């Protein structure tokens, strides 16, 4: 029997005796016979060495990123996690705690979350951040619903270049209240949003919000964002920002964002095949009562010292039930802790320096790939930071990536929606640089790409 | 047990090393001037030891399950096995990108697939997705699946209502509303669903009935088979909120009880750590009717190979990025493997034994509004405390002074001044007896001491009313408030 359940001789008997019963079965007399199940049908339990050995066997079938020169990116990042981040996350007072409902017993986590909120406020230029949402995509979904609470309308505009996963999540969040998600076309050369399309849509008076991402789904920066505020008038403007980019880019509030969401995983959280992740959300103070999620506030205790507590809870599901601003309960507190610990260890200068270094590598990589026949790299003529889009014009993107993989290169990920019947998009891949690739890996990518294209030429 | 929490006068990060402002941000080649950040992020520059001491000190002002029991009803705060933490940090688990080619991620796909099969057996609902990020997220996805199902049947216009008992978790009505449903509460009778009221409420408008079983009063809904029949006869779907599954592992399951779809909380039943408020990990399990609507991708096995399958034309699509929180799923898988068939059954039996034992003992101090036979948790009413000028909150705060966490308070709302107590299987008899003794000391203490509680923690009673009335939600707010205070 498991070491996690006490099994002292006589223990169970004493509990039963205290209850005046002879068997635990009596405690299940309220479960009707017809609803009882037989065996679960799973194997017998295993002791700890056996579990470790079995899971190590399974994990042995994986080939982790470190075995490759990896250029995978997108919203989920492969980035170095300083040992001190994990050391702090491993403090079991943090990771084995529950949601800080009892403020007095939870000042540590409440203060860490207050610092996290403060950091996202500083990074975005907005006023209020919540204590986290599930991930960047659901944060965008919550932002959509938030916009509808503060503005009338039925249409929500998003870039056609937004990653397909996020579009799908947004369409789900929009479907409850019967709202539509409409795609803004982009310029084929630069990837920039068609601002005339936005102007015409807004003029029809039924747009309740617009989301744009920085960098965009192609990895590029769209200066048109600076012209959106006057076009939008009072229509809420959501920016979905990569947190690291904000170390070197203007805070979105300066160009008129009402909401800034983002995926925070890159700050101190391993990619772990997709999660846990971290949804970031900030808005203006006047809209705080429409905001989703938990919020920590500073207050005082009974003797007048500074103390912290979850606040503005009347927005939330446990109080407001069907009229809550969101259904979210459990969020990503520990990941929020990772975010603020990471940023504090690296510091504002370190973050900017990291983003600068990734941007330089990306320029080197683009230079290496740009002359190769069968590739357009970068596909768009627009500024970029640490990643950009490559279009495969000879053969398919998946054939290209396969050929690279055989040379131990993960060359990026396809931007196409993998669902059958999804609109036939061009063969584009997003290529990202990381701290783990340098000149050698970039040269290797270039050589492998050249030979992959030569092979594609032969098989064509 | 005597207890004093650490009480550090620890400054906030920004007061440790006030940042000099404004500092010009670094220039990055190629960034257009308009886009370039003019002032660096206003945040302190600290050394690693300073950051580590800061957060270590903060951690010492926080309760966790590793320090003492956490009798929060409906939260299933059980011990989080260390071996799961160790395994989740293996490079083969942590250093994996969700967009890696499937051929390089066979290990991840294998344990996810195996966990799905296992949870399918535990729930009796064989088709499983691990995509939801938490329980409420799973509820919401399930409501979207129900809607998609009725859309396919041409009934989405007519079936607009979701029914739920008045004891339902707040997330249930909130999730149904987010999915576009109106919600209607079914009154309880003696803590369980009033079957006659349910029968009267179901109609051709009913899309779904959402039920937790055992429910939030800790009672098993013994009429469950009749409830399922009533809902299905009206053409509705039956949804299982798996928050309280711990008590019935291996005894019964949602499939046997007639549910069509369920969510589970791996951070409750399967012992993944709650992280001070998350991350959670939700699970969706569906029977035949709703399985085609599960989110994409699904994991399929062909021979010894696993792959992600996106070819599910009736799927609701995505509800978050990537496949799911694989890092948490691995922890849950390690938990399930360790326990196995008999172990999981023992989990339920011991958790039910624990709560009945403690319920009987605490029933001497406060009334128990419902029948004494409970499952994973029990409810007490703090109403008699009023005779001494006290409320449930005072008792809860006084318990903190004993070094144990307080129970869930003021929920379920149908009980006046309620306390909801859950002590899962990982609490030994010694721990239970210590909790009972702590409860006795707390409730027997003077009204003055209860009002003044807590006195042994990092802070005294926190003024939550003030927090909401004068919101100070960030360092920026504190700076503004400070500047105002300094202006004559």
Q: Are residues A153 and A254 in the same domain?
A: yes
Candidates A46, A251, A353; nearest CB to B340 = A46
List of chain A residues whose C-beta atoms are within 8 Å of the C-beta of residue B333: 55
Q: Is residue A307 domain-resident? A: yes
Measured torsion, CA atoms of residues A33, A35, A36, A40, in degrees rounded to the nearest 10: 170
Q: How far apart are CA A218 and CA A241, in angstroms?
A: 13
Q: Are residues A363 and A247 in the same domain?
A: no
What was the pLDDT predicted at A460? Answer: 65
pLDDT bin (cut points 50, 70, 90) of residue B21 is low
Q: Which residue of B has its CA nearest to A417?
A: B310
Q: Domain boundary at A284, A319, A341, which?
A: A341
pLDDT bin (cut points 50, 70, 90) of residue A424 is low
What contacts B49, CB < 8 A, 6 or more positions away?
A: none
Four-residue CA torsion sign, A171, A173, A176, A177: negative
Q: Quick check: B486 pLDDT over 80?
A: no
Q: Are residues A327 and A356 in the same domain?
A: no
Q: Rg of the Cα trace of chain B?
A: 25
What was the pLDDT predicted at A320? Answer: 86
Q: Quick check: A312 pLDDT over 70?
A: yes
Q: Is residue A33 domain-resident? A: no
Q: In this prediction, what percent of chain B has a pLDDT beyond 90?
A: 94
Q: Are residues A279 and A386 in the same domain?
A: no
Q: Are residues A215 and A196 in the same domain?
A: yes
Q: Is residue A73 domain-resident? A: yes
Candidates A97, A114, A413; nearest CB to B276 = A97
What was the pLDDT predicted at A421? Answer: 82
What was the pLDDT predicted at A318? Answer: 85
* Average predicted confidence (pLDDT) for chain A: 96
Q: For residue range A203-242, what is the model confidence (pLDDT) as tens digits?
A: 999 999 999 999 999 999 999 999 999 999 999 999 999 9
Q: For residue range A259-305, what is the model confidence (pLDDT) as tens digits?
A: 999 999 999 999 999 999 999 999 999 999 999 999 999 999 999 99
Q: What is the ipTM of this complex?
A: 0.97
Q: Dmax over Cα atoms in chain A, in whole Å?
A: 83
3-state secondary structure chain B: CCCCCCCCCCCCHHHHCCCCCCCECCCCCCCCCCCECCECCCCCCCCHHHHHHHHHHHHCCCCCCCCCCCCECCCCCCCCCHHHHHHHCCHHHHCCCCCCCHHHEHHHHHHHHHHHHHHHHHHCCCEEECCCCCHHHHHHHHHHHHHHHHHHCCCCCCCCEEEEECCCCCHHHHHHHHCCCEEEEECEECCEECHHHHHHHCCCCEEEEEEECCCCCCCCCCCHHHHHHHHHHCCCEEEEEECCHHHHCCCECHHHHCCCEEEEECCCCCCCCCCCCCCCCEEEEECCCCHHHCCCCEEEEECCEEEEECCCCCCCCCCCCCCCCHHHHHHHHHHHHHHHHHHHHHHHHHHHHHHHHHHHHHCCCCCCCCCCCCCCEEEEECHHHHHHCCCHHHHHHHHHCCCCCCCEECCCCCCCCEEEEECCCCCCHHHHHHHHHHHHHHHHCCHHHHHHCCCCCCCCCECHHHHHHCCCCCHHHHHHHHHHHHCC
CB contact under 8 A, A334 and B279: yes
Q: Is residue A47 domain-resident? A: no
CB contact under 8 A, A91 and B55: yes
CB contact under 8 A, A330 and B43: no
DSSP-assigned beta bridge partners for residue A241? A214
Q: Domain boundary at A288, A318, A341, which?
A: A341
Q: Quick check: B26 pLDDT over 90?
A: no
Distance from CA of A117 to the nearest CA of B (A): 6
Q: For residue range A108-130, what is the model confidence (pLDDT) as tens digits?
A: 999 999 999 999 999 999 999 99
Q: Is residue A442 domain-resident? A: yes
In total, the C-beta contacts within 8 angstroms joining chain A to chain B are 693
CB contact under 8 A, A249 and B178: no
List of chain B residues whose C-beta atoms are within 8 Å of the C-beta of residue A249: 31, 35-37
List of chain A residues whose C-beta atoms are within 8 Å of the C-beta of residue B349: 24, 27
Distance from CA of B21 to the nearest CA of A (A): 12
pLDDT bin (cut points 50, 70, 90) of residue B29 is confident
Q: Are residues A352 and A334 in the same domain?
A: no
CB contact under 8 A, B136 and A317: yes
Instruction: Give the length of chain A.
Output: 460
For chain A, how many structural domains are there in total?
Answer: 2
List of chain B residues whose C-beta atoms are within 8 Å of the C-beta of residue A298: 467, 472-473, 477-478
Four-residue CA torsion sign, A443, A449, A450, A451: positive
Q: For residue range B324-374, what is the model confidence (pLDDT) as tens digits?
A: 999 999 999 999 999 999 999 999 999 999 999 999 999 999 999 999 999
Q: Quick check: B397 pLDDT over 70?
A: yes
Q: For residue range A54-102, what is the model confidence (pLDDT) as tens digits?
A: 999 999 999 999 999 999 999 999 999 999 999 999 999 999 999 999 9
Q: Is residue A59 domain-resident? A: no
Q: In this prediction, what percent of chain A has a pLDDT beyond 70?
A: 99
Q: Are residues A171 and A129 in the same domain?
A: yes
pLDDT bin (cut points 50, 70, 90) of residue B44 is very high
Q: For residue range B222-278, what is the model confidence (pLDDT) as tens digits?
A: 999 999 999 999 999 999 999 999 999 999 999 999 999 999 999 999 999 999 999
DSSP-assigned beta bridge partners for residue B39? B24
Question: Three-state SS for A267?
Answer: coil
Q: For residue range A329-344, what is the model confidence (pLDDT) as tens digits?
A: 999 999 999 999 999 9
Q: Which residue of B has its CA nearest to A45?
A: B340
Q: Is residue A417 domain-resident? A: yes
The region that residue A179 occupies, defined by phi over 0 for left and psi between -120 and 50 for alpha, beta otherwise, is beta
Q: Are residues A204 and A114 in the same domain?
A: yes
Measured torsion, CA atoms of residues B307, B310, B315, B318, in degrees rounded to the nearest 10: 90
Q: Give the CATH number for residue A365.
A: 3.90.1150.10
Domains of chain B, start order: 83-338 (3.40.640.10), 346-465 (3.90.1150.10)
Q: Are residues A248 and A128 in the same domain?
A: yes
Q: Quick check: B40 pLDDT over 70?
A: yes
What was the pLDDT predicted at B19? Answer: 81
What was the pLDDT predicted at A422? Answer: 79
Residue of A274, A336, A344 best to disrupt the B interface, most CBs of B under 10 A: A274
List of chain B residues whose C-beta atoms are within 8 Å of the C-beta of residue A308: 462, 467
Q: How far apart are CA B485 and CA B488, in angstroms?
A: 8
Q: Are B72 and B265 in contact (CB under 8 A)?
A: no
Four-residue CA torsion sign, A248, A332, A208, A286: negative
Q: Quick check: A184 pLDDT over 90?
A: yes
Q: Are residues A149 and A287 in the same domain?
A: yes
Q: Is residue A30 domain-resident? A: no
List of chain A residues whose C-beta atoms are within 8 Å of the C-beta of residue B354: 15
DSSP A100-129: --SGGG-HHHHHHHHHHHHHHHHHH--SEE
Q: Domain boundary at A282, A312, A341, which?
A: A341
Six-digit token pair at A228? 């959106």
What was the pLDDT predicted at B27? Answer: 79
Q: Is the pTM of this model over 0.90?
A: yes
List of chain B residues whose C-beta atoms are within 8 Å of the C-beta of residue A320: 170, 174
Domain encompassing residue A415: 66-78+347-459
List of chain B residues whose C-beta atoms are within 8 Å of the C-beta of residue A96: 64-66, 80, 273-274
Q: Are residues A337 and A390 in the same domain?
A: no
Distance from CA of B263 to the nearest CA of A (A): 14
Q: Quick check: A1 pLDDT over 60?
A: no
Enclosing H/E stretch for A260: strand A259-263
* Average predicted confidence (pLDDT) for chain B: 96
CB contact under 8 A, B101 and A102: no
Q: Give the CATH number for residue A330.
A: 3.40.640.10
Q: Quick check: B2 pLDDT over 90?
A: no
Q: Are residues A298 and A442 in the same domain?
A: no
Q: Quick check: B60 pLDDT over 90?
A: yes
């Amino acid at each position: 029997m498991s070491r996690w359940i006490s099994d002292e001789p006589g223990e169970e008997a004493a509990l039963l005796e205290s209850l005046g019963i002879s068997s635990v079965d009596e405690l299940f007399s309220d479960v009707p016979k017809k609803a009882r199940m037989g065996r679960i049908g799973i194997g017998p339990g295993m002791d700890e060495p056996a579990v470790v050995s079995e899971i190590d066997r399974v994990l042995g079938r994986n080939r982790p990123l470190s075995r490759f020169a990896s250029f995978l990116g997108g919203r989920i990042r492969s980035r170095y996690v300083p040992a001190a981040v994990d050391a702090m996350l491993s403090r079991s007072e943090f990771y084995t705690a529950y949601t800080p409902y009892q403020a007095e017993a939870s000042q540590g986590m409440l203060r860490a979350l207050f610092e996290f909120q403060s950091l996202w406020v500083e990074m975005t230029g907005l006023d209020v951040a919540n204590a986290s949402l599930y991930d960047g995509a659901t944060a965008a979904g919550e932002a959509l619903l938030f916009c509808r609470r503060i503005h009338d309308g039925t249409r929500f505009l998003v870039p056609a270049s937004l990653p397909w996963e996020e579009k799908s999540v947004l369409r789900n969040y929009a479907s409850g209240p019967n709202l539509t998600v409409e795609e803004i076309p982009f310029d084929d050369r630069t990837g920039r949003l068609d601002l005339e399309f936005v102007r015409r849509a807004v003029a029809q008076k039924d747009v309740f919000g617009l989301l744009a991402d920085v960098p965009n789904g192609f990895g590029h920066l769209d200066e048109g964002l600076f012209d959106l505020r006057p076009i939008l008038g009072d229509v809420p403007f959501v920016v979905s920002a990569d947190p690291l980019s904000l170390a070197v880019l203007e805070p979105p509030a300066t160009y008129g964002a009402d909401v800034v969401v983002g995926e925070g995983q890159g700050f101190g959280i391993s990619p772990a095949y997709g999660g846990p992740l971290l949804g970031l959300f900030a808005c203006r103070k006047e809209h705080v009562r429409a905001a989703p999620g938990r919020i920590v506030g500073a207050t005082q205790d009974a003797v007048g010292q500074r103390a912290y507590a979850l606040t503005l809870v009347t927005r939330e599901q446990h109080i407001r039930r069907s009229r809550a601003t969101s259904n979210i309960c459990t969020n990503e507190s520990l990941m929020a802790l990772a975010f603020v610990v990471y940023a504090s260890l690296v510091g504002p200068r370190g973050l900017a320096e990291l983003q600068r270094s990734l941007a330089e590598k990306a320029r080197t990589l683009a230079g290496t790939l740009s002359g190769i026949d069968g590739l357009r790299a970068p596909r768009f003529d627009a500024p970029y930071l640490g990643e950009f889009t490559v279009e495969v014009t000879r053969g398919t993107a998946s054939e290209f990536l396969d050929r690279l993989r055989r040379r131990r290169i993960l060359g990026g990920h396809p931007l196409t929606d993998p669902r059958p019947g999804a609109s036939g998009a061009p063969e584009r891949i997003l290529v990202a640089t990381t701290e783990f690739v340098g000149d050698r890996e970039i040269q290797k990518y270039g050589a492998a790409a050249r030979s992959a294209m030569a092979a594609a030429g032969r098989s064509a | 047990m005597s207890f004093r929490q650490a009480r550090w006068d620890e400054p906030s990060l920004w007061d440790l090393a006030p940042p000099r402002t404004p500092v010009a941000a670094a220039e990055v080649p190629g960034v257009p001037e308009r886009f370039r950040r003019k002032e660096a992020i206003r945040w302190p520059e600290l050394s690693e030891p300073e950051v580590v001491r800061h957060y270590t000190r903060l951690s010492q002002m926080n309760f966790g399950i590793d320090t003492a029991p956490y009798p929060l009803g409906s939260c299933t705060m059980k011990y989080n096995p260390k071996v799961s933490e160790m395994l989740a940090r293996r490079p083969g688990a942590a250093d994996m990108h969700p967009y890696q080619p499937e051929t390089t991620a066979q290990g991840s796909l294998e344990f996810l697939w195996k966990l799905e099969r296992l949870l399918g057996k535990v729930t009796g609902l064989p088709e499983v997705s691990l995509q939801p990020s938490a329980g409420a997220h799973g509820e919401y996805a399930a409501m979207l699946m129900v809607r998609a199902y009725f859309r396919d049947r041409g009934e989405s216009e007519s079936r607009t209502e979701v029914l739920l008992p008045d004891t339902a978790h707040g997330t249930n009505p909130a999730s149904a509303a987010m999915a576009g449903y109106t919600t209607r509460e079914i009154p309880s009778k003696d803590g369980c669903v009033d079957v006659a009221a349910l029968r009267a409420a179901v109609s051709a408008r009913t899309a779904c009935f959402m039920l937790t079983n055992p429910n939030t009063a800790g009672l098993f809904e013994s009429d469950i088979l009749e409830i399922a029949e009533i809902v299905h006869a009206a053409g509705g779907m039956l949804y299982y909120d798996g928050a309280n599954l711990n008590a019935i592992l291996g005894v019964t399951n949602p499939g046997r009880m007639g549910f069509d779809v369920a969510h589970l909380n791996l951070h409750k039943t399967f012992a993944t750590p709650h992280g001070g408020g998350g991350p959670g990990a939700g699970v969706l399990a569906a029977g035949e009717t709703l399985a085609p609507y599960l989110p994409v991708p699904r994991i399929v096995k062909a021979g010894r190979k696993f792959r992600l399958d996106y070819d599910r034309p009736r799927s609701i699509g995505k509800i978050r990025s990537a496949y799911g929180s694989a890092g948490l799923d691995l922890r849950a898988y390690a938990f399930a493997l360790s326990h196995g068939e008999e172990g999981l059954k023992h989990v339920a039996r011991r958790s039910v034994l624990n709560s009945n034992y403690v319920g009987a003992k605490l029933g001497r101090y406060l009334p128990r509004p419902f029948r004494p036979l409970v499952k994973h948790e029990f409810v007490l009413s703090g109403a008699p405390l009023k005779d001494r000028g006290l409320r449930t909150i005072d008792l809860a705060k006084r318990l903190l002074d004993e070094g144990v966490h307080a129970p869930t308070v003021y929920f379920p709302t149908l009980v006046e001044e309620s306390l909801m107590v859950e002590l899962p299987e990982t609490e030994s008899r010694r721990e239970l007896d210590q909790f009972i003794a702590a409860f006795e000391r707390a409730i027997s203490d003077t009204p003055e001491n209860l009002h003044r509680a807590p006195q042994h923690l990092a802070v005294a009673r926190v003024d939550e009313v003030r927090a909401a009335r004068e919101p100070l939600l960030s360092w920026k707010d504190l700076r503004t408030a400070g500047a105002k205070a300094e202006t004559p």
